[in-house]
Each structure stands twice: as structure tokens, then as C-alpha cells.
Amino acid sequence: MLLIVGHVYLFRRHGITRPSRSPSETPILAGSSVQGCRRLPRGHGGGAGGGAWSHGAHLGSPADPSEPYSAARPGWYFLFLFEFLKLPYFAGENEVWGAIYIPGMAIGLICLMPFIGRWKVGHVFKVGIIFVFLGGAGALTYMAKQEDVSGQNSETYLRGVLSDSRDAQRVTALAKANGIESTALSLLKNDPKTQGARLFAQHCASCHRYGGHDGLAVELATDVTLDDLAKRTGMTSRFLSSDAVHPDWLARKTGTQDEWRPVKSVLKAKAEGPFDVIASVSPLEKASAPDLKGFASRRWIRDLLDPDQYLSARYFGGTAHRDGAMYKKFLNRKVRKYDADEKAMLELVVLALSAEAKLLSQTEVDKADADKIKQGIDHLIDDIGCVDCHAFGEPDPDADGPDLTGYGSRQWIIDMVKNPEHKKFYPDNNDRMPAFGVKKILTDAEIGLIADWLRGDYPKPTP
């Protein structure tokens, strides 16, 4: 600003000396600069106004100092300085040279250029320095981008960019639908879809999974062919495209419950597609408790009551309950031998038990199947014999398994998370699950956010 003010002052003081010319010598474009100056604000103003009207300012997710953010970068115009500071020459105590001394000397040299350029040699030196600066800045910018898409931490960075975009879209949609009471960050902190997933990943995903991942994966694509997957994984795509796929992210065949595999292993094996792809990496620990995506839905319960599925890693195959009475006395001994009529009764029990959850996603089908649900309750109590081990409808002090009253409802999940060793659940045979409420690991509000997220009970405004 001081340089601009000084320039204008000197310009006004000395003025412009116009050469005397005859009318015949007047350039054909005389006055065109004045006309251009008049039109310039209109053109630029119209372009800027049109861009602002159609696109608006970029809105990222609100900054949260309590959460790590792996995609923090300066704007592209300062990216070369970011990479300059990361050079090994400026590590440790030498950082001050990269941050202050060298940039200061460069700015000082730029300020001296008008004086250096007065001499012929100085002019050549000045032009050369400009090319060195621009070339160095370009090279450093390329190095920074290259490291972000293929370096050691590239997977974390690219996933952070996607997560930030997802949170930005979510907070924008929430703000448009409900307004902002205090801050944009508070919208996400109180949003089950956002905060419930984070709490699940932090406290539950060491044992449980959600659709095979920790709950924070970004769904990238479905029905992707092997050739398209290879193209999106390539270096060019990662450098230039917004729909790129990192080789460490996960894929599995579309429409299956197969285990997620790293994209690079899928490509190496030339597996048969099409594939679903998510921005997430393989967990360090194997799942040792049920996968809770779709918990208490009809499909989830139907698969739970399949003897083979019950023993899989998706349900109780990694827990102490795999050898319990549920499998030995009921699923293996009875359900495996069910005839067609008994299987039909079991399907009605599935409808009845799932209806106890009162899931928003099943409201309409539960209403339509009200008669079937009533029949299912009768079968649950009498024909199938669930009440031999479980309480249903009223307390049963002799029950060995979890109370099925309100199974999968918001309150049922909250009570289970608070204290799995409560007499309604597993008072004698709880398998490693902490009492998150009793031990004050989570607050009541946080447990409620997890329950709402698992059940899909959260606002769904359109962005």
C-alpha cells in the first residue's frame, strides 16, 4: 500500500508531458486508453458479479481445533513457500532461515530491482533473477502437489480432502434447513450423522465395524469396472482429477458383503468386478464384534438368524457368544432343520422383532405389514420359543439372553451402550464391551448421538 501511495504521489507531482503534434500526427487509437479504463470496471465487475452469483465463495468445513486435520495447506499461490520450508536444509534450528531470512532477502532484492535495472548488466541480472524465482516457485509447487498425491502421507491427505468436502456439504445443508444458532461447528457437533460416526470410530471401531469400515469412510463410487478403477488410481488421475482413487483405499464386489480389500490388491489380482469403492484403509485390528450397519433392520436380523452368518465375522464369529446357547441350542440344533412352514414363521418373527426398533427407514413397510407383525409376535412367544431364553413384553428374571422388548430402539441402544452388564443384557457373560455410561467414558448426549447415527435418525436436508 505504501508503494502504491508513493507511486500515485510522484505520478501526480510530475504529471505527464504530452508531445506537441499536429492533427495529422494524432494516433488513430488516441483516447482508447481512456475508453478502456472506463469499460474495464464494467467488464471485470460483471464477470466478478456473475461468478459470485453462480458459484459464491468456497465454503470448507468449519475448523475444529479438537480434531486432527491432515489436509491443511495454503492456497496454491503460497504452496511453494510451504514446500520450501519442508526442505531438509531448514530442519530444526535452521528453520528461521527458510521462514524469515531467505524470504526477507528475496523481498529486499525485489525492492532493489528498479535501481539495479538502470544498468544494462543490472537489467540482464534482474530478468535472470525473475526467471529463477518463477522457475523455483513452479518447481516447488509441483513438488508439493506431487507429494500430496503420491508421497508417504498422500493417502491421509487425500482422505482428509474428501472428509472436509463431505463435512462442508453437510454443514451447508444443515444451515440452509435450520439456520445457525451459535456457530457452524456446533451444527456438526450436534449432528448424529457427523458426530455419531466420529464417536463410533473413536470408541467402538476397535471391535465393531460399520459396513466393514470404521464409520468414517467416504463412499466414492459403485459399479466401477476394473479398467476404470485402474485409470482412477493412476498418477495422472490423482494429480489432476477430483474423483481419483488412492491404491490403499478399499474396494469390494458390488452387491456383496465381502471383506473390503485394498484397491492395489484388487488390481493386482485382476478380480472380477464391478466394484464399490470407499476412501478408507484396512483397520489395524480385525473385527471381533458384530458389524452394526443396518442394526435391527429386517435384513440385519434375518442374516443374524442364519446359522452360518451368525458364526461369521459380520456377527458373533469373533466373540465368546459363538459357542453360546443361541447357536448351539437354537440356530444349529433347530433352525438348520426347519421345514418350509417353520421358515415362514421365522420370517414373521424377523418382521416382528425389527418392528420393535421403530426405524424411520421402515415406518411405511411396518405399517403395511401390521398383521404379519402381530403374527410374528405370536410365533416369537409360542412357536419359535424365543421367550425360553429372552424376556419380551415383560421382565423375566430367569432369562439368559438380552431383553427383546424394544429391541434396536433408541432407548434400547442407549441402555446397552451405557451398561451392557445390566440385568436386561449380559449380566454374567458380557464379552469385553465397556460400560460407557457407568464408567463416564461417554456422556449421555454422546451416547444418544451414536444411537441416532446407527438408527439413521438424523436430518436429511438436501445440499
Q: Confirm whether 55 is domain-assigned.
A: no
Same domain, yes or no: 348 and 431:
yes
In a domain, 1, yes or no: no
Q: What is the pLDDT of residue 49?
A: 62
Q: What is the per-residue pLDDT across 205-245, written as a single tens digit (0 to 9) for each?
A: 999 999 999 999 999 988 889 999 999 998 888 887 778 89
Q: What CA–CA distance (Å, rounded) separates 420 from 401?
A: 12
Last residue of some domain: 251, 279, 307? 279
Domain membership of residue 461 (yes or no) is no
Q: How many domains does one find in the chain?
A: 3
Q: What is the DSSP string of 31-69?
A: THHHHHHHHHHHHHHHHHHHHHHHT-----PPP-TTS--
Range of the domain at 382: 298-455
Are 163 and 142 found together in one domain? no
What's residue 179's pLDDT? Answer: 87
Backbone angles phi, psi at 124, to 5 degrees: -60, -40
Cis before 65 (ω within 30): no
Tell me which residue of 203, 204, 218, 216 sits closest to 290, measured CA to CA: 204
Q: Is 302 in the same domain as 443?
A: yes
Note whether 139 and 259 are same-domain residues. no
Q: At what angle do helices 370-378 and 340-355 cross, to 10 degrees?
A: 110
Report if residue 336 sits inside a domain.
yes
Statement to judge: residues 427 and 361 lie in one domain: yes
- Domain membership of residue 5 (yes or no) is no
49 domain-assigned: no
Residue 117 belongs to a domain: yes
224 and 352, same domain (yes or no): no
Residues 429 and 309 in one domain: yes
pLDDT value of position 28: 47
Single-letter code of the amino acid located at 152: Q
User: Is the domain of 443 the same as that of 405?
Assistant: yes
pLDDT in tens, 159-168: 999 999 999 9
The verdict on residue 66 lying in a domain is no
pLDDT of residue 61: 85
Weakly modelled stretches of the chain, pLDDT under 50: 28-30
